[in-house]
Amino acid sequence: MDSVDLISKYFPSLTQEQLDRFTKLGELYPYWNAQINVISRKDIDSLYEHHILHSLGIAQMIRFKPGTSLLDFGTGGGFPGIPLAILFPECQFLLVDSIGKKVKVAGAIAEALGLENVRTLHARGEEIQERFDFVVSRAVMRLDELVGFTRKLVHHEHRNGMPNGLICLKGGELQAEIRPYKRIVEVHELYPTFSEEFFKTKKVVYLPL
Protein backbone atom coordinates (compact mmCIF):
# COMPACT_ATOMS: atom_id res chain seq x y z
CA MET A 1 0.00 0.00 0.00
CA ASP A 2 2.22 2.83 -1.20
CA SER A 3 -0.40 5.55 -1.50
CA VAL A 4 -1.94 8.33 0.54
CA ASP A 5 -3.97 5.60 2.30
CA LEU A 6 -0.79 4.70 4.16
CA ILE A 7 -0.65 8.22 5.62
CA SER A 8 -4.35 8.13 6.54
CA LYS A 9 -3.79 4.83 8.33
CA TYR A 10 -1.53 6.49 10.89
CA PHE A 11 -2.93 10.02 10.78
CA PRO A 12 -6.71 9.54 10.60
CA SER A 13 -7.57 13.12 11.63
CA LEU A 14 -6.17 14.85 8.54
CA THR A 15 -8.25 17.61 6.98
CA GLN A 16 -9.34 17.33 3.36
CA GLU A 17 -6.76 19.95 2.41
CA GLN A 18 -4.01 17.91 4.06
CA LEU A 19 -5.19 14.73 2.32
CA ASP A 20 -5.26 16.55 -1.02
CA ARG A 21 -1.72 17.80 -0.50
CA PHE A 22 -0.38 14.39 0.50
CA THR A 23 -2.14 12.90 -2.52
CA LYS A 24 -0.57 15.49 -4.81
CA LEU A 25 2.92 14.51 -3.59
CA GLY A 26 2.37 11.21 -5.39
CA GLU A 27 2.24 13.12 -8.67
CA LEU A 28 4.77 15.88 -8.00
CA TYR A 29 7.73 13.80 -6.85
CA PRO A 30 7.77 11.37 -9.81
CA TYR A 31 7.44 14.36 -12.16
CA TRP A 32 10.33 16.28 -10.64
CA ASN A 33 12.44 13.19 -9.98
CA ALA A 34 12.41 12.41 -13.71
CA GLN A 35 14.11 15.77 -14.29
CA ILE A 36 16.32 16.16 -11.22
CA ASN A 37 17.13 12.98 -9.34
CA VAL A 38 16.42 13.56 -5.63
CA ILE A 39 15.08 10.07 -4.87
CA SER A 40 16.74 6.91 -6.16
CA ARG A 41 14.94 5.41 -9.17
CA LYS A 42 14.16 2.17 -7.35
CA ASP A 43 12.87 4.05 -4.29
CA ILE A 44 10.39 6.34 -6.00
CA ASP A 45 7.89 3.45 -6.09
CA SER A 46 8.01 3.46 -2.26
CA LEU A 47 7.58 7.23 -1.97
CA TYR A 48 4.85 7.18 0.66
CA GLU A 49 6.43 4.55 2.91
CA HIS A 50 10.14 5.33 2.62
CA HIS A 51 9.97 9.12 2.39
CA ILE A 52 6.64 10.69 3.34
CA LEU A 53 5.61 8.43 6.25
CA HIS A 54 9.23 8.17 7.38
CA SER A 55 9.39 11.98 7.57
CA LEU A 56 6.21 12.00 9.64
CA GLY A 57 7.88 9.69 12.15
CA ILE A 58 9.04 12.87 13.89
CA ALA A 59 5.39 13.51 14.78
CA GLN A 60 5.44 10.29 16.82
CA MET A 61 7.85 12.01 19.21
CA ILE A 62 6.41 15.54 19.28
CA ARG A 63 3.37 17.41 17.97
CA PHE A 64 4.66 20.91 17.33
CA LYS A 65 2.58 23.78 18.70
CA PRO A 66 1.35 26.52 16.36
CA GLY A 67 4.02 29.15 15.79
CA THR A 68 6.94 26.73 16.14
CA SER A 69 9.82 27.54 13.80
CA LEU A 70 11.75 24.67 12.24
CA LEU A 71 14.87 24.34 10.10
CA ASP A 72 15.08 21.29 7.84
CA PHE A 73 18.85 20.90 7.62
CA GLY A 74 20.04 19.11 4.46
CA THR A 75 16.51 18.82 3.12
CA GLY A 76 17.45 17.20 -0.20
CA GLY A 77 14.21 17.20 -2.17
CA GLY A 78 12.17 18.31 0.83
CA PHE A 79 12.34 15.57 3.48
CA PRO A 80 11.32 15.66 6.25
CA GLY A 81 10.30 19.32 5.84
CA ILE A 82 7.52 19.17 3.27
CA PRO A 83 5.51 16.30 4.83
CA LEU A 84 5.88 17.96 8.24
CA ALA A 85 4.80 21.33 6.82
CA ILE A 86 1.62 19.69 5.50
CA LEU A 87 0.97 18.05 8.87
CA PHE A 88 1.72 21.22 10.87
CA PRO A 89 0.36 24.09 8.74
CA GLU A 90 0.60 26.60 11.61
CA CYS A 91 4.36 26.06 12.00
CA GLN A 92 7.03 27.80 9.93
CA PHE A 93 9.66 25.83 8.00
CA LEU A 94 12.92 26.81 6.34
CA LEU A 95 14.29 24.05 4.06
CA VAL A 96 18.04 24.34 3.49
CA ASP A 97 20.45 22.37 1.34
CA SER A 98 23.90 23.05 -0.10
CA ILE A 99 22.91 21.49 -3.45
CA GLY A 100 20.98 24.04 -5.49
CA LYS A 101 19.09 21.67 -7.77
CA LYS A 102 17.64 19.82 -4.76
CA VAL A 103 16.48 23.07 -3.19
CA LYS A 104 14.87 23.92 -6.53
CA VAL A 105 12.79 20.73 -6.39
CA ALA A 106 11.76 21.31 -2.78
CA GLY A 107 10.76 24.89 -3.56
CA ALA A 108 8.78 23.94 -6.66
CA ILE A 109 6.87 21.25 -4.78
CA ALA A 110 6.09 23.56 -1.86
CA GLU A 111 4.84 26.18 -4.32
CA ALA A 112 2.72 23.68 -6.24
CA LEU A 113 1.09 22.61 -2.97
CA GLY A 114 0.45 26.20 -1.90
CA LEU A 115 2.47 25.74 1.30
CA GLU A 116 2.75 29.28 2.56
CA ASN A 117 4.54 28.07 5.70
CA VAL A 118 7.60 26.87 3.73
CA ARG A 119 10.66 28.81 2.58
CA THR A 120 13.73 27.35 0.88
CA LEU A 121 17.36 28.41 0.94
CA HIS A 122 20.38 27.26 -1.05
CA ALA A 123 23.17 27.54 1.53
CA ARG A 124 25.76 25.70 3.58
CA GLY A 125 25.14 25.16 7.27
CA GLU A 126 27.58 27.82 8.41
CA GLU A 127 25.84 30.44 6.22
CA ILE A 128 22.49 30.23 8.00
CA GLN A 129 21.86 33.34 10.08
CA GLU A 130 18.45 32.64 11.65
CA ARG A 131 17.61 30.75 14.83
CA PHE A 132 14.83 28.22 15.31
CA ASP A 133 12.89 26.26 17.90
CA PHE A 134 13.93 22.94 16.34
CA VAL A 135 16.27 21.64 13.69
CA VAL A 136 14.98 18.52 11.92
CA SER A 137 17.04 16.35 9.62
CA ARG A 138 17.07 12.97 7.95
CA ALA A 139 20.39 11.14 8.36
CA VAL A 140 22.52 13.66 6.51
CA MET A 141 25.60 13.14 8.70
CA ARG A 142 26.83 11.71 11.99
CA LEU A 143 25.14 13.06 15.11
CA ASP A 144 28.26 14.82 16.44
CA GLU A 145 28.76 16.60 13.09
CA LEU A 146 25.10 17.56 12.98
CA VAL A 147 25.28 18.98 16.51
CA GLY A 148 28.35 20.97 15.53
CA PHE A 149 26.51 22.60 12.65
CA THR A 150 23.16 23.16 14.32
CA ARG A 151 23.79 24.02 17.98
CA LYS A 152 24.09 27.74 17.18
CA LEU A 153 20.89 27.65 15.13
CA VAL A 154 18.59 26.82 18.06
CA HIS A 155 17.35 29.58 20.35
CA HIS A 156 16.27 29.09 23.96
CA GLU A 157 12.76 30.50 24.15
CA HIS A 158 10.75 27.29 24.53
CA ARG A 159 7.15 27.05 23.33
CA ASN A 160 6.68 23.26 23.15
CA GLY A 161 6.47 20.57 25.81
CA MET A 162 10.00 19.48 24.93
CA PRO A 163 12.96 21.88 25.12
CA ASN A 164 14.20 23.20 21.78
CA GLY A 165 16.78 21.09 20.03
CA LEU A 166 17.67 18.69 17.24
CA ILE A 167 15.34 15.94 16.01
CA CYS A 168 16.71 13.60 13.36
CA LEU A 169 15.65 10.44 11.61
CA LYS A 170 18.27 7.70 11.79
CA GLY A 171 18.58 4.03 10.93
CA GLY A 172 20.67 1.09 12.02
CA GLU A 173 23.00 0.77 15.00
CA LEU A 174 23.37 4.05 16.87
CA GLN A 175 25.05 3.14 20.16
CA ALA A 176 28.46 4.60 19.32
CA GLU A 177 26.93 7.70 17.78
CA ILE A 178 24.73 8.58 20.74
CA ARG A 179 27.21 7.59 23.49
CA PRO A 180 28.59 11.15 23.97
CA TYR A 181 25.04 12.36 24.60
CA LYS A 182 23.70 9.41 26.60
CA ARG A 183 22.63 11.56 29.58
CA ILE A 184 20.30 13.74 27.51
CA VAL A 185 19.49 11.96 24.24
CA GLU A 186 16.11 10.33 23.60
CA VAL A 187 15.69 7.58 21.00
CA HIS A 188 12.23 6.58 19.78
CA GLU A 189 11.81 3.37 17.78
CA LEU A 190 9.38 3.82 14.86
CA TYR A 191 8.51 0.10 14.81
CA PRO A 192 5.98 -1.23 15.75
CA THR A 193 4.16 2.13 15.84
CA PHE A 194 4.65 2.03 12.07
CA SER A 195 4.15 -1.69 11.40
CA GLU A 196 5.79 -1.92 7.97
CA GLU A 197 9.01 -3.95 7.73
CA PHE A 198 10.93 -0.88 6.52
CA PHE A 199 10.61 0.76 9.94
CA LYS A 200 12.18 -2.08 11.95
CA THR A 201 15.54 -0.29 11.94
CA LYS A 202 14.26 3.30 11.89
CA LYS A 203 14.51 5.66 14.85
CA VAL A 204 13.84 9.26 15.83
CA VAL A 205 16.68 10.81 17.83
CA TYR A 206 16.04 13.91 19.96
CA LEU A 207 18.77 15.99 21.53
CA PRO A 208 18.01 19.18 23.47
CA LEU A 209 20.47 21.92 22.51
- 73-87 per-position pLDDT tens digit: 999 999 999 999 999
- Mean pLDDT over residues 47-69, rounded? 97
**pLDDT number for residue 42:** 82
- Which one, of 123, 136, 125, 36, lies nearest residue 81 by Cα? 136
**Percentage of the chain exceeding pLDDT 90:** 93
d(CA 100, CA 120): 10
Task: Name the CATH superfamily housing domain 4-208.
Answer: Vaccinia Virus protein VP39 (3.40.50.150)
How many C-beta atoms lie closer than 10 Å to residue 205's C-beta? 22
Band (pLDDT 50/70/90 cuts) for residue 184 is very high
**pLDDT number for residue 46:** 96
Range 79-92 burial, b when 16+ CB lie within 10 A, else e: bbbbbbbbbbeebb
- Mean pLDDT over residues 40-51, rounded? 92
What pTM, to 2 d.p., does this model score? Answer: 0.97
**pLDDT number for residue 6:** 97
H helices of the chain, in order, are 4-10, 16-33, 54-56, 81-87, 100-113, 143-150, 175-178
> Whats the size of the chain, residue-wise?
209
Torsions phi, psi of 131, nearest 5?
A: -125, 155
**pLDDT number for residue 41:** 82
Domain ranges of the chain: 4-208
Strand 69-73 and strand 92-97: the pairing is: parallel
3-state class (DSSP) for residue 49: helix
d(CA 190, CA 187): 10
Chain centroid to Cα 203, Å, comes to 13
d(CA 95, CA 76): 9
**pLDDT number for residue 71:** 98
**pLDDT number for residue 77:** 93
d(CA 19, CA 24): 9
d(CA 9, CA 92): 25
